[in-house]
Structure 1
Amino acid sequence: MTPAAAHGPGGAEPLHWVIVYGRSHAHRLGDLPAEITLRFLELTARKTTELFRNSSVKAVFAFESVGDHFGPTVAHPHGQLVGLPFVPRRLTLGAERRRCVACAEIDRPDLDVVVTGHARLWAPPWARLPFEMVITPTEHRPDLASLSPAEMTSTAGLLHTGLRLCRLTYGGKTPPYLINVMQAPKGDISHHLRIELVPLHKDADTLKRPGGMELGLGVYLNPLPPEAAARILREALAEVREDVA
């Protein structure tokens, strides 16, 4: 796995990195061994720590976008990591609340897909699209660098499992999807690390893509209740059990 600086004119510290998973041009992250997903998260943790040494960087966003819907400009499978001089509004859920939103939803077994001793793969109650999933450490951790080796391995395993579940619930094909690694802004220990896995595909009856309400108002009309999505994902889980750490 190779990181390459995308921006850094005049010798300045690069704030945008492209993370190439390997030599394969055809295989997405979920097609590659689970070890590659682990290395992706470990590299993201290391680069995030390095970027936070830059006084202008307030937040770091790592992501992968797959599919023409998102308009990626590089066809070779890759992720990206960007240091930002501001904190995006969506990065921290319910920052004005007194309780961590992720911790508050721990006791929702109807939303669980997989729970290990260190991490959880679940359908969030605020899911915007069918089969949207979130991976969170069981303990309150703000970012990837704060995870223990066991927590990192479990988190990566569940992300890999989620990617395979995306394919299993899409007729065996890989749907367009987003991976959003939502780490804490610099110095914010109240934030609970979450990795969002957002596939853009249909359930059994309804095709759903972001439209006028979603793009105009930020109000998402999800035709599949997250409890139902979690149940369908659990039913598909038997085929990917070997990934669960």
Structure 2
Amino acid sequence: MPAPSTFIAISGHSKDVTIYAPERAGLRPFKHDRGLATERTCPFCPGSAELPEPFDVVLLENKFPSLSTDTDWGTPQENRLLPGYGKQDVFLYSPDHHRRLHDTPVSNVAALLTLLGERVAGYYRDERIQHAFAFEVSGGVFGPTIEHPHGQVFGLPLIPPGVRLVPDGPCLTCEEIRQAATEGRLVARDELVSVYVPLTARAPLELWVVPNAHAPDLWMMPDHQVTAIAAALSRTMRAFASFGWPDFSYMIAYRHAPRPRQSGWHFRIEVCPAHRLNGAHKYFGAMEIALGVFLMPTDPRSAATLLRNRWDDIA
């Protein structure tokens, strides 16, 4: 097996993907770690070497990437090893070290969505990028290494096994929105956006924020639709924050279409709080990690009822 600085391994058994980036170990300063950084030492606070000027929303090239466009290993090996080619950025939506998405102005959230759409469109101008994925994690369960609110965008040279290409024909997400309404899983809906508990939830209170109009990517949407999605995402996060859970932990996944550009793909935002209905943390176990089979103690209709009440209480 060749030994490039960064490479991607694909399992012949499960098609699972592992990115090996040994050069990344030890590069990031330890003082930036979660719980150790303060406003004076945080690399993402205004006035730092990274961000000397004030900002509201900003995108930065990741200084310690797992993937890079500067790779010297250019051909796949035996259909199971790929070069570690890719792109990676960090996004920030608040200059405040302690602010989170639920108390960030909607205008910042809308600006973030616009920025993510533009970045994804830019990634896909590189024909080697097959899938663009943006996400944010927060809280102790998911463990971001830097506490300042931020997320990442990856441009991958493959379509991961967890991303299923949608068939031609009627949109499955459009149909699921209709099913959520008839099955009692709908939390909120207006002319532009629906918010609902997915039938195959991975956590008891997972919600999807989905534009009603079919579009594969954010950058394809008009400004008023992006603003409506931002408002729904903001209200969703405020509803979750209103539970007052200690160490509020969540993952947000921004699901853009993979390459090839798929007309049947419907953009969505997946919000997955790592909490049970009683506020305790939800940890993922052997069935979920090894098999991708999620064990759920909560009926999705009960979760939707609870979240509808919270949603209605949020101004």
TM-score, scaled relative to structure 1: 0.89
State the alpha-carbon separation in 1 of the partners of residues 192 and 233 from structure 2.
Answer: 13
State the alpha-carbon separation in 2 of the partners of residues 14 and 37 from structure 1.
Answer: 26
Pairing 1:5–2:79 present: no
Cα displacement string for residues 173-206 of structure 1 (whole angstroms, at most 9, x for unaligned residues): 5620000001101211111111100001111387
- Deviating above 3 A after TM superposition, structure 1's stretches of 4 or more consecutive aligned residues are 7-11, 96-99, 204-208
Question: Shift of the alpha carbon at 1:78?
Answer: 0.5
Q: 2:151 aligns with which of 79, 101, 106?
A: 79
Q: 2:252 aligns with which of 179, 194, 198?
A: 179
Aligned residues: 239
Question: Shift of the alpha carbon at 1:90?
Answer: 2.6
The CA RMSD over aligned residues, in Å, is 2.3
Question: Shift of the alpha carbon at 1:126?
Answer: 0.9
Task: Give the helix-richer structure, 1 or 2.
Answer: 1
User: What is the identity percentage for the equivalent residue pairs of Structure 1 and Structure 2?
Assistant: 31
Could you say which structure has the larger radius of gyration?
2
**Equivalences for 1:97-108 in 2 at 5 Å?**
98-107=169-178, 108=180
Q: 1:158 aligns with which of 232, 235, 249?
A: 232
| Matched AA of 1:111 | R
Answer yes or no: is the 8 Å Cα contact 2:140–2:247 preserved in 1. no
**Equivalences for 1:11-160 in 2 at 5 Å?**
15-92=87-164, 95=166, 98-107=169-178, 108-109=180-181, 110-160=184-234
Find the counterpart in structure 1 of residue 30 from structure 2.
Answer: none
Compare relative contact order (CA 8 Å, sep 6+) and give the higher one, 1 or 2: 1
Secondary structure class of the residue paired with 1:68:
coil
Cα displacement string for residues 189-236 of structure 1 (whole angstroms, at most 9, x for unaligned residues): 111111100001111387632111111211001111111111111111
| Matched AA of 1:4 | L
Answer yes or no: is the 8 Å Cα contact 1:135–1:159 preserved in 2. yes
State the alpha-carbon separation in 2 of the partners of residues 32 and 227 from structure 1.
Answer: 29
Choose 83-92 or 95-104, whichever is displaced more.
95-104
Structure 2 runs not aligned, ≥5 long = 1-56, 72-84
State the alpha-carbon separation in 2 of the partners of residues 92 and 194 from structure 1.
Answer: 14
Secondary structure class of the residue paired with 2:112:
helix
TM-score, scaled relative to structure 2: 0.70
Answer yes or no: is the 8 Å Cα contact 1:20–1:79 preserved in 2. yes
Question: Shift of the alpha carbon at 1:130?
Answer: 1.0
Structure 1 runs not aligned, ≥5 long = none
